[in-house]
Amino acid sequence: MESINWIINHRAWSCAHSKWAERVILRGVPQTVRKFHAQIPGYRISPLKGLDRLAAMLGLGGIWVKDESQRLALNSFKVLGGSFAIYNVLRQKLGLSSSDVSFAALTSPEARAKLGVITFATATDGNHGRGVAWAASKLGHRAIIYVPNGTAQARIDAIKGYGAEVVVIDGNYDAAVEQIKNDARAHGWQVVSDTAWEKYEDIPVWIMQGYTTMFSEAQEQLAAQGIIKPTHVFLQAGVGSLSAAGVAFYRNLFGADAPLVTIVEPTTAACLFESARIGDGKPYQIEGDLTTIMAGLACGRPNPIAWNVLWDCAHVFVSCPDFVAARGMRMYAVPLAGDPFIVSGESGAVTLGVLSFIMQRPELVPLRDRLGLGPESQVLLINSEGNTDPDDFRKVVWEGAHAVPQGFKVTQLTDGQWQTGG
């Protein structure tokens, strides 16, 4: 039977200082990023939703969900990174310092006359490409987006909706990254990728910095509830850029008192988990078609900069089968009475699925105890996407696709304990 696997990263438990976390999220960067995002037309702080009844059922002090399905009507957090990266590319081309630049300045007739029309290019499983296409369109430029074979038509149509050209390549996400690198070089396009390679590091770092807006907003929202910081953060990972941004944000803000961080990946695309398993500090690529319902996490090669942050600071790496994400989607969609309804796609819901199983399954008690999850815990989750593939969403939520196997089912007994099917 497929299972949830986990690895303790002992390095993170003893790492008092991470130069990589400081390099990615420099002092003052989150404030600069928020200032830029706040100028974007339509910007609103995405909601932080408390699942109080579910937390009580699972024996936790609180579960807090940063709901990025409501980010700028784009159904995903990815626009935060893509827009900040494009902002920095344009700023540099105009020869301006960060203090000189506003959103209005980048879209002014003078800026457009100097810049011309730039073609921004990237590879994506859906959400990153949509964010790049949106940002390029808003700033008066073009976008060309490569997607792997098998990408849902709904995700392709969403990208095209912002005027981008979409090219479907024969291969997985990693193949799309390689193809866009080659074609951009040949055609003079500007690549905006969330993974780094040799001599291509600035833009992936800017993308990670762009994601800090989520966490700085969440900190303000938690403070309004009288919570200084979460005790635990569960972060989903593809190439690792989102998770590294969150890890670095909290490590730089709280130092050794930062929340305990668990990184979650699909079993079939667990490149960070595999890198942690090998344990020599290097990032490793995994091969195969990377098939998973968690399309946004179907990446076989880590972002090496993100990996360095996670190797220093992520406490646990988890890999899990698709039914865990599907369970999380249904838990969000059919909440306990009094908890808010949340629309979450497969990649957005997997952390809730993992958290619920950790709190319920007997074989995961050692992990629960190592993390110290209990009645005093305040857990932060990121709903990284909403319903980005309506057909698959209905199959999971309406029809019960990717059902929890019999041996993994759990039932709460009258004494509050959990009865498991295996």
Please say if the pLDDT value at position 422 is more than 70. no
pLDDT beyond 60 at 215? yes
Q: Quick one: pLDDT at residue 409?
A: 87
Residues noted as catalytic: 78, 125
Nearest-CA neighbor of 375 among 49, 65, 57, 51? 57
115-129 pLDDT tens trace? 999 999 999 886 889
Q: What is the pLDDT of residues 135-192, one digit of tens each?
A: 999 889 999 999 998 898 989 999 999 999 999 999 888 899 999 999 999 999 999 9
Q: Are domains 5-76+211-420 and 78-200 of this chain identical in fold?
A: yes
Q: What residue spans define the domains of the chain? A: 5-76+211-420, 78-200
Q: What integer pLDDT is reported at residue 99 of this predicted model?
A: 66
Confidence of residue 1 (pLDDT cuts 50, 70, 90): low
Residue with tokens 């936790």: 60
420: buried, middle or exposed (CB in 10 Å: 19+, 13-18, 0-12)? Answer: middle
Q: If you average pLDDT over residues 331-340, what whole number do you get?
A: 97
pLDDT digits (tens, 9 = 90+) for 50-100: 999 999 999 999 999 999 999 988 889 989 999 999 999 999 999 887 766
Cα 46 from Cα 57, distance rounded (Å) = 26
The long-range contacts involving 273-280, CB below 8 angstroms and separated by at least 24 positions, are 273/5, 273/7, 273/317, 273/318, 273/319, 275/302, 275/307, 275/311, 276/7, 276/9, 276/311, 276/314, 276/317, 277/7, 277/317
Average pLDDT of 301-308?
Answer: 96
Question: pTM above the 0.85 mark?
Answer: yes
Query: What is the number of other CB atoms lying within 10 angstroms of the CB of residue 267?
Result: 18
Axis-axis angle for helices 29-39, 78-93 (nearest 10): 90
List the CATH code of the domain at 5-76+211-420.
3.40.50.1100
Spatial CB neighbours of 163, under 8 Å, sequence gap ≥ 6: 133, 137, 142, 143
Is 3.40.50.1100 the CATH classification of the domain at 78-200? Answer: yes
Query: Would the pLDDT of 318 be above 90?
Result: yes
